[in-house]
Structure 1
Amino acid sequence: FFLIPSNILPEIRSCSEVYGYINEGPLSGTPIASCLGDQQAALLGQMCLGAGQANCTIDEGMFVLFNTAREIIDSDHGLLSTVAFQLGPRADPHYALEGAIAHAGSSIGWLKRTLALDPVASDAMNSSASALFPDGPANTQLMASFCSAVSSPVPPYGETKTLAGGGVGQRGGVIFVPAFSGYYTPYWRYKARGMMFGITLQTTPQQILAAAHEAICHQVREVLESLAKDCPTWPRLAKLTVGGDLSEQRALVQLLSDLNGVLVERPQTSTPACLGAMLAAGLATEILSIDQFRQNCVPPIDLFSTAFNSSQRDMKFRRWKMAVDRCLNFDSVSDSDPVKLIGDGRDPDSYVRCSIPGSVFIVSSFVLIVAAQLMKQHGFA
């Protein structure tokens, strides 16, 4: 395989067994008993052990893993088939479908560093809430959800303490597509480029930051829709477990539930991967069982249920998809195609206006011919 002799390749081992011992230092003699990728460790640490369970880790990038248990599913909709975990050399391996999103927290950081947007403006809540609910306080369910999401103190992501979920004005909101290095799941288009739509002279920093948070949630929906297409006979995802640094922002997690229509479960730890590695090591050394881990090591959870109806979610998502389509086709027009460039910048009604003189000539000529024939028949010629 790739002209590499198989005998020099490493042995495939489970992620929960003793591989060796530390030889030197203060930890000398300590067994090395677990080895997992960070996303797989997070899946394990959040106790997504059964088929149909999923977790979402939101950091600089974002990854969604869907446990398919012992079934390997080859995705036709842009997901990656991967190994989830194998808890012991004699245990059956579990597999997963993975959705990879390149930019989540990094897009927020880029807006702050490059565009110098102030994510801690004092009027963020008021301006965003009034824009999101243009009809006033009549929509009490949405307003209650929004206020509960932003009223509690939220640990920062780096230095970012921005409000998610607001900033959609009455005349259309900002759409931000963070395809800085191409678009990953589900399109895998490396030539796609990031874009921002809908900005006006009245656009505020809070609206742009809110659009970046919405982008995170819409990309999760794209992954979940791909999962539904790849697993059409599986039950609908009942809940999504989240982790990572950005999951500490309560407003973002609420927005994730609102824009995806799914119950979101957030354990009160932002580093579930550490718990997963600990569980695998504890099982390998037989000092911990899954039941003991569940009883003593799983942190309390916060639940977030959606406050949006399906029409609100779908309207926002349709606008998002239209913006994504333009990003994906960013490289479809080259500088060497001036005719297309001119056509793209032309008024769409110009073709109709340009056809009017010719149409008038054809119709008038036809009328004159018919009139001449009638005059000839009646002896006027």
Structure 2
Amino acid sequence: MTASNALKQGEFVGSLDCGTTSVRFIVFDENADIVAQHQLEFPQYYPHPSWHEHDALEIQSTSEECIVKACELLEEQGWAKESIKAIGITNQRETAVAWDRTTGKPLCKAIVWDDSRTKGTVAHFQHKLRVEGIEVEKGVFKKGEDGIKALRDITGLPLSTYFSAIKLCWMIDNYDDVKKAHDEDNLLFGTVESWLVYNLAGSAKTHLHVTEPTNASRTLLMDLHTLTWHEPLLKFFGLRPSILPKLVSSSEVVGHLAFGPLAGVPISGLVGDQQGALVGNKCLEQGEAKCTYGTGAFLLFCTGSEPVGSKNGLLTTVAYQAGPGAKPVYALEGSIAVAGSAIKWLRDSMGLIQSAGEVNTLAAKEDSTGGVYFVTAFSGLLAPYWDPGAAGLLIGLSSYTNPSHIARATLEANAFQTRGVIESMKLDSNKDLKHLKVDGGMTNGDLCMQVLADLGGFGVVRPEMRESTALGSALLAGSALRLFGWDISKPETLAHVNTRGNTNFEPSLPESQREEMWSRWQKAVERSMGWDEAPDED
């Protein structure tokens, strides 16, 4: 490695991107070109059907190693690590972590966002909502359908296995250590960015326990309108306010790295991964939309400075808050639980392909699915169906069916589910989608993107630099310090960021064929729903 005093000094921003299966640390320059990066996978745990867990300590150690390795690569290229002036953190959002206030150690494994073990917990709170209701003002409760509407008005969310407060309630009910810590007021709860900040900033000394609105808006505990924890909801779920992190904005200095090669560097941008991708795609103004295709798929449509309630199965969420006291920007979101993980299933469980990229090659051997439809409801269906009891379904199989048909049906499932979300967005926003900006691992396949355009009936725009999630947190971190003149509240200051060429995919399928296939997909979805009914708890 070059001697430190011979290294060039620059100005860069780092992003720690903690996804569902891996962590990356990426160093960006002012134009969003990647200067250095390092990525590592961490273990996944599936102890029972529908369970998915992470070890929070493994996430922490993997994150620290990625930062070290990326800094080494930066210096190998002749840049001093001191060139990194700030870092942002972006994360898998609804994954729930519970740790001990005294020791700083996890009390159990983290429950991952797509884990659906909590169906009984959801049924319990649905019953409670019907019978007891939610307090909307002092002494005034709304029950039944009025209670359901009140919950959505406050949080933008339905009761679902998806959200982190439900996971926390399950932990308290099922893990003695978590219950004991809660009862003794020794419990800390957070999503992954809270856990990482707590540790990277030196938990033993600082006890820095924070979150920001994009993650907090996915807990079922935050008031969308005031960006504060909602005390009546805490009472409804039986949770102590003291376990929750302090709410900060998405773009401000919240602390500093306490050790490692970047010790002293400010942590100045926090954002949930999908909102990070929205920011990274510069969809900062009303009417702009993106979809990230990773393990799942997440489509966000920016609605501006006022939250738009959905009547069509979407979530209302915070897109970002540009700084302390800034007016938040909101979005409508449709979440699809299974996208890239279906391709991983073809590879790891079915053995149809050797690598994820081969799915496009295999699917291209046939020009249709041969009548096969694949509803990839491995852990129920999210937006716009919201059926935790839906089951995965391959239908239309015959002696004619071959692996290529199934591979193509997997790509089509992704496109159909995306269209389902977009149809709901059209109804809620009264706007047609002219094009969809895309990023994530699945977008590398041209066939996958062409199938998306053909079955969706809209243009698909794929940028050259597609690390949009990481870029979003870097933009928020840089904006907090006004590095490079970035100001997330003024989109024009980002005009020079990530401007390299796009690839556009336009629909080529006749509309009559598209609509016939869409109709048959909807029939397949109906047949998959309600297969695994939740227990009716009271």
Matches of 2:442 and 2:249, distance apart in 1: 30
Shift of 1:175: 0.9
Aligned residue type for 1:257 = A
Q: What is aligned with 1:281?
A: 477
Task: Check if 1:203 corresponds to 2:438.
Answer: no
**CA deviation vs aligned residue, 1:145-170 (integer Å, no higher than 9, x gap):** xxxxxxxxxxx746655355774659
Task: Check if 1:294 corresponds to 2:502.
Answer: no
Segments of 5+ residues of structure 2 without an aligned counterpart are 1-233, 534-538
Shift of 1:238: 1.4
Task: Check if 1:84 corresponds to 2:319.
Answer: yes
**CA deviation vs aligned residue, 1:299-333 (integer Å, no higher than 9, x gap):** 4211111112321210110010111111014358x
Matches of 2:438 and 2:359, distance apart in 1: 19
Aligned residue type for 1:112 = R
Matches of 1:169 and 1:39, distance apart in 2: 31
SS of structure 2 residue aligned to 1:193: coil
Q: What is aligned with 1:368?
A: none
Shift of 1:239: 1.1
TM-score, with normalisation over the residues of structure 1? 0.72
Residue among 310, 315, 328 paired with 2:511: 310
Matches of 1:118 and 1:30, distance apart in 2: 43
Q: What is aligned with 2:528?
A: 327
Whose Rg is larger?
A: 1
Tell me if structure 2 keeps the 8 A contact 1:118–1:205. no
Distance 1:163 1:240, change over 3 A: farther
Tell me if structure 1 keeps the 8 A contact 2:256–2:267. yes
Shift of 1:223: 0.1
SS of structure 1 residue aligned to 2:271: coil
Tell me if structure 2 keeps the 8 A contact 1:164–1:255. no
C-alpha RMSD over aligned residues: 2.2
**CA deviation vs aligned residue, 1:40-84 (integer Å, no higher than 9, x gap):** 000000010111111100011111111111121221211111110
Aligned residue type for 2:253 = V
Task: Check if 1:68 corresponds to 2:264.
Answer: no
Matches of 2:455 and 2:359, distance apart in 1: 22
Tell me if structure 1 keeps the 8 A contact 2:462–2:504. yes
Q: What is aligned with 2:253?
A: 18
SS of structure 1 residue aligned to 2:261: coil
Shift of 1:115: 2.4
Matches of 1:284 and 1:276, distance apart in 2: 13
Matches of 1:100 and 1:8, distance apart in 2: 27
| Structure with greater proportional strand content | 2
Q: What is aligned with 1:49?
A: 284
Q: What is aligned with 1:246?
A: 442
Shift of 1:179: 0.8
Matches of 1:158 and 1:250, distance apart in 2: 10
Tell me if structure 2 keeps the 8 A contact 1:164–1:252. no
SS of structure 2 residue aligned to 1:68: strand
TM-score, with normalisation over the residues of structure 2? 0.52
**CA deviation vs aligned residue, 1:110-169 (integer Å, no higher than 9, x gap):** 1233222247xxxxxxxxxxxxxxxxxxxxxxxxxxxxxxxxxxxx74665535577465
Matches of 1:280 and 1:249, distance apart in 2: 29
Aligned residue type for 1:243 = D
Distance 1:310 1:91, change over 3 A: same
Matches of 1:55 and 1:296, distance apart in 2: 17
SS of structure 2 residue aligned to 1:295: coil
Aligned residue type for 1:116 = G
Matches of 2:439 and 2:256, distance apart in 1: 31
SS of structure 2 residue aligned to 1:200: coil
Distance 1:112 1:4, change over 3 A: closer
Task: Check if 1:174 corresponds to 2:409.
Answer: no
Tell me if structure 2 keeps the 8 A contact 1:165–1:252. no
Task: Check if 1:110 corresponds to 2:345.
Answer: yes
Tell me if structure 1 keeps the 8 A contact 2:307–2:331. yes
Task: Check if 1:193 corresponds to 2:396.
Answer: no
Q: Percent identity?
A: 41
Q: What is aligned with 1:262?
A: 458
Q: What is aligned with 1:162?
A: 361
Shift of 1:252: 0.7
Shift of 1:291: 3.9
Shift of 1:275: 1.0
